[in-house]
Structure 1
């Protein structure tokens, strides 16, 4: 069946619906009009620090654009995992000519030998995951002592229930409702229906500490002035509502 035809889909399968991956990648790489470019990415790069000689795993790698950046910065190895066949095809093309690798795999089925990686990143993927505890436990197990985990997710004020209005104008506010009612949420996005798993900020922090990570950073990815190419109206719009949450932790 076509994903979304008989109900919402989650995870990588959503991006295998016709044209969804293309729509997403066009939006994600649209410069100042991409919240990823002006908010999530600069916060992530700030937190990464030096990556030379690190073995890196990217859970939910998408088109693996960050993979080329990390390899160019000297990381020892890069492995991207994504549940979408469309995204892994895009990632394979992105990593062509590098030592980076990519596999098609559901994040919730991820496992690796102990101490296989020094850094695990997951960008805007874990809100597709139902069993977050098992994923974080697998991450901790596969990290070397002192290894780091760095994740970004759609901000909980966005994954909470919101009343959509019919308008073609750029959105400037969001209605937050049922914030403490966590779990699966259906939503229309990129021309299809998807399931995201809503969690509070407290839920994410608790899940990380339960998996025995020492939390080293929590950021809400405020827009970066230098990323807007002088478009102050867009900068002002992006300052109104948090769109992303970043959490970093280390393995004792």
Structure 2
């Protein structure tokens, strides 16, 4: 299933009002950690899958990447990305991540941020990514954490006063489709266990180099109300893998 909620007018309008959509990477709660996982991008050929507004594409060029290709299924996303970009070394292409077809050894680094949990057959995508990376190339991804995706409700358990009691985890080993409410719309996501995330990468020919689970920065906890609750469970999973 190739889902394109971002070309729905109401959904895109809601997304465009999110802090990360307005302020960019510094407003993304996981960026302070994801940034440290990126390799040296100088003179690298970079592919960004699910590039959205192009924030990571432009960051890669700021770090002196030689060229960047950003791929996204949404026409709305790419239109905004092009409006925000003034750089001939960044190319945006409209395509589903499942449909990518790049040449062997075309890229040195592949990035995908918060897009792969929308894909059903992820192992096939991993094989395509492995094919287009050079030997020793790096794949950095972030997805919603399995603790977060296990239940379609994706919400806290509250007491009678409306206070957050705990984050419930259930049906963890029942992998597959979840229909979650995001930005007041039903969105299809796919739940995988931690083991499946890692083993699918290994099966596609990657070596796992580092795994991180998101937690808020001190700055965000000071500035964003309720952000300290993000320490109670990880919302995002980040993995660095290298092509053998």
- Given the two structures, how large is their TM-score scaled by the length of structure 1? 0.86
Cα deviations across residues 47-84 of structure 1 (Å, max 9, x unaligned)?
A: 11321000000000010111111101100001100111
Using the TM superposition, give the Cα deviation of residue 239 of structure 1 relative to its aligned residue in structure 2, in angstroms: 1.0
Using the TM superposition, give the Cα deviation of residue 35 of structure 1 relative to its aligned residue in structure 2, in angstroms: 11
Using the TM superposition, give the Cα deviation of residue 185 of structure 1 relative to its aligned residue in structure 2, in angstroms: 0.7
Q: Which residue of 2 aligns with 1:7?
A: none
Match of 1:53 among 6, 18, 43: 43
Match of 1:236 among 213, 228, 238: 228
Aligned residues: 240
CA RMSD of aligned residues (A): 2.6
In the alignment, structure 2 segments of 5+ residues that lack a partner are: none
Asked whether the equivalents of residues 122 and 151 of structure 1 are also in contact (C-alpha less than 8 Å), the reply is yes
Structure 1 position 151 matched with structure 2 position 141: yes
In the alignment, structure 1 segments of 5+ residues that lack a partner are: 1-9
Q: What is the distance in 2 between the residues matched to 1:162 and 1:185?
A: 5
- Alignment CA distance shift 1:28-1:82 (3 Å): farther
Using the TM superposition, give the Cα deviation of residue 147 of structure 1 relative to its aligned residue in structure 2, in angstroms: 0.4
Asked whether the equivalents of residues 138 and 243 of structure 2 are also in contact (C-alpha less than 8 Å), the reply is yes
Higher strand share: 2
- Alignment CA distance shift 1:172-1:40 (3 Å): farther
RCO greater where, 1 or 2, for CA within 8 Å and sep 6 or more?
1
Match of 1:17 among 8, 13, 17: 8
Structure 1 position 126 matched with structure 2 position 123: no
Match of 1:160 among 150, 163, 178: 150
Q: Which residue of 1 aligns with 2:175?
A: 182
Asked whether the equivalents of residues 149 and 191 of structure 2 are also in contact (C-alpha less than 8 Å), the reply is yes
Structure 1 position 29 matched with structure 2 position 32: no
Cα deviations across residues 140-185 of structure 1 (Å, max 9, x unaligned)?
A: 0000111000000011111111545899x89674322111100011
